[in-house]
Amino acid sequence: MNPTSIVSLLFVSVSLTLGLAMAQPAGNSEVAASKGTHLRAPLPRIPTVHRRSSPSECNGYSDLCDRQFNLVAFPTTHNSFASGDNIAANQNKDIMQQLDDGIRGFMLDLHNSSSNSLFSRDSSSGPYLCHTSCILLNDGPLTTTLGYFTTFLDAHKDEVITIFLENDDKFSATTIQQSFKDAGLDKYAYTPTGASSDGSYTWPTLADMISQNKRLVVLVDSNSNTKDVPWLVYDRDYAVQTPYTVGVGSSFDCRLISSSRPLLVMNHFVFSNYSVLNMNVEKPSPDTASTVNTRQSLVDQANVCGSAGQFPNFVTVDFYDVGGLFQAVADINKVQYTSTSLSTDFGTGSDSSTTSGASARALPMAALSTALLTVAALALLV
């Protein structure tokens, strides 16, 4: 590695690691994006004890069974895998708990396990779930997490879920496919027959997807290859997103970041600016979740999208367990809200709400040590 590369690595690792692990908020930046100010009181959590009884329900509601996939709103988590006490985490609870609580849309970032590392750890191991850098937050192999989805879909036959893959390190479609095969999840993947140039496509109803046992939709942002992997589709052929870089105190709108498509990802989360080494570092903002994630704030943005002719299919938030996500999604779907939480035996031998968080918690200190070692190495080169 030449000195220029090392300097670049240092800049990234120190800026992200020291900034996120050690910094304090700059000024009074923690103001909610929606009306009101953030609360310091303990935040409400949703119950997870209800068991679904009726086999005629689709994603918890009988009224959704006869609706086409593109006419249903799904509660969705941003950076779903990034949970726990890590300061870079976007969620309080891990994917197993998210599934049981009723989340049905998931965003996963794919990295090589040596991403932004001085030393290759396992370059042949396949995709890992990391946030920005595997030094900063590493939630382990993609295959492990996909196994949780398999267990969930095996146990709950009337559920339809969607996975968005952000293919940061440009894995091939066949490499991603192998992870799904290894997890036993590919058997559930639904294969669209193809979208026209304007993105139009006739989606099946949820009931049809359930009866065919093709209850998983997978979209990827790069390196799709539908000839080799028909069910791994390019997201921009079917979906479009609203802006995902909204700062604390900003308002939510329904501007589209690319041309209109039948599926809309309505991003509804904010970031905070932390001052580090005379630089601004963006990080998730848990303190504002109680105002950003209110039922009214979410419905208000959905109404803006509706007025623009866009139905919000994937209502995407950080810290989903705070606020009124599930109630808002019920409102968008025009159904009477009821708890859709389930109970799944994931076979982990531990509380699912702490499993991935434990690994994430250990990473900030390890990342900090790596950054400091990099500084020491540079001192010898200068």
What are the boundaries of each domain within the chain? 3-381
Q: Which pLDDT score is estimated for 275?
A: 67
Q: Which pLDDT score is estimated for 304?
A: 96
Question: Which residues in the chain show pLDDT less than 70?
Answer: 1-55, 115-125, 195-199, 247, 249, 275-277, 349-382
| Secondary structure of the chain in HEC code, one letter for each residue | CCHHHHHHHHHHHHHHHHHHHHCCECCCCCCCCCCCCCCCCCCCCCCCCCCCCCCCCECCEHHHCCCEHHHCCEEEECCCCCECCCCCCCECCCHHHHHHHCCCEEEEEEECCCCCCCCCCCCCCCCEEEECEEEEEEEEEHHHHHHHHHHHHHHCCCCCEEEEEEECCCCCHHHHHHHHHHCCCHHHECCCCCCCCCCCCCCCEHHHHHHCCCCEEEEECCCCCCCCCCCEEEHHHHEEECCCCCECCCCCCCCCCCCCCCEEEEECCCEEEEEECCEEEEEECHHHHHHHCCHHHHHHHHHHHHHCCCCEEEEEECCCCCCCHHHHHHHHHCCCCCCCCCCCCCCCCCCHHHHHHHHHHHHHHHHHHHHHHHHHHHHHHC
Q: Which pLDDT score is estimated for 183?
A: 98
pTM: 0.79
Q: Which pLDDT score is estimated for 56?
A: 87
Q: Which pLDDT score is estimated for 348?
A: 73
Q: Topology of domain 3-381, per CATH?
A: TIM Barrel (3.20.20)
Q: Which pLDDT score is estimated for 259?
A: 80
